[in-house]
Amino acid sequence: MKRSVLLSVLLVSLLAGPVVLSQELEPEDMEFQMQMQERKIELERLQSNMEMERQAQDLELEHRRLELESMQHDDDDDEGEGALGLLLAVCVIIRILLAVWVYTDIRQLGHGSGIWIVIVLLAGLLGALVYAVVRLGNNKHK
């Protein structure tokens, strides 16, 4: 009987020892687990903040890239408009020079009408060619 009591006390002490020890360590374990949980939450918060900042930077870069592209397109459009304006100015100057030539030719010959000046201003080079053909035809008959 002594032996069974001794065995039962030994068994109880063996089984109760870890329970007692775990109860003694439990507040520290709980504290440690809470700290770990807080650190984990803080880490997740920092990671999400970093991800948000990275996305904001990506958006800013995309915005700047689009601004640069729109500036390039605006510059290209301005160059095209400048070339078109230059071509138009050259055409107007050529028409005016042709009209001046027709006017001086009419005055030198002493015949012809001012309608040719209007025709050359409106038709340009084609009008000047028609005037030249008509003038050559009139000179042959004289």
Dump the DSSP string for 109-140: HT---THHHHHHHHHTHHHHHHHHHHHHHHHH
What's the mean pLDDT in 60-79?
83
Please answer whether residues 135 and 105 qualify as being in contact, where contact means their C-beta atoms are separated by less than 8 angstroms: yes
Sign of the dihedral through C-alpha 75, 60, 55, 50? positive
Please answer whether residues 99 and 121 qualify as being in contact, where contact means their C-beta atoms are separated by less than 8 angstroms: yes
**Dihedral (Cα; 9, 13, 15, 20), 10-degree rounding:** 150
Encode pLDDT of 79-136 as tens digits.
Answer: 677 788 899 999 999 999 999 999 999 998 887 788 999 999 999 999 999 999 988 8
Residue 77 predicted with pLDDT over 90: no
What's the length of the chain? Answer: 142
Token pair belonging to 32: 């440690």
CA–CA distance from 140 to each of 33, 93, 134, 135 (Å)? 117, 31, 10, 9
Sequence ranges of the domains in the chain: 2-141
Indicate whether this model's pTM tops 0.75.
Answer: no
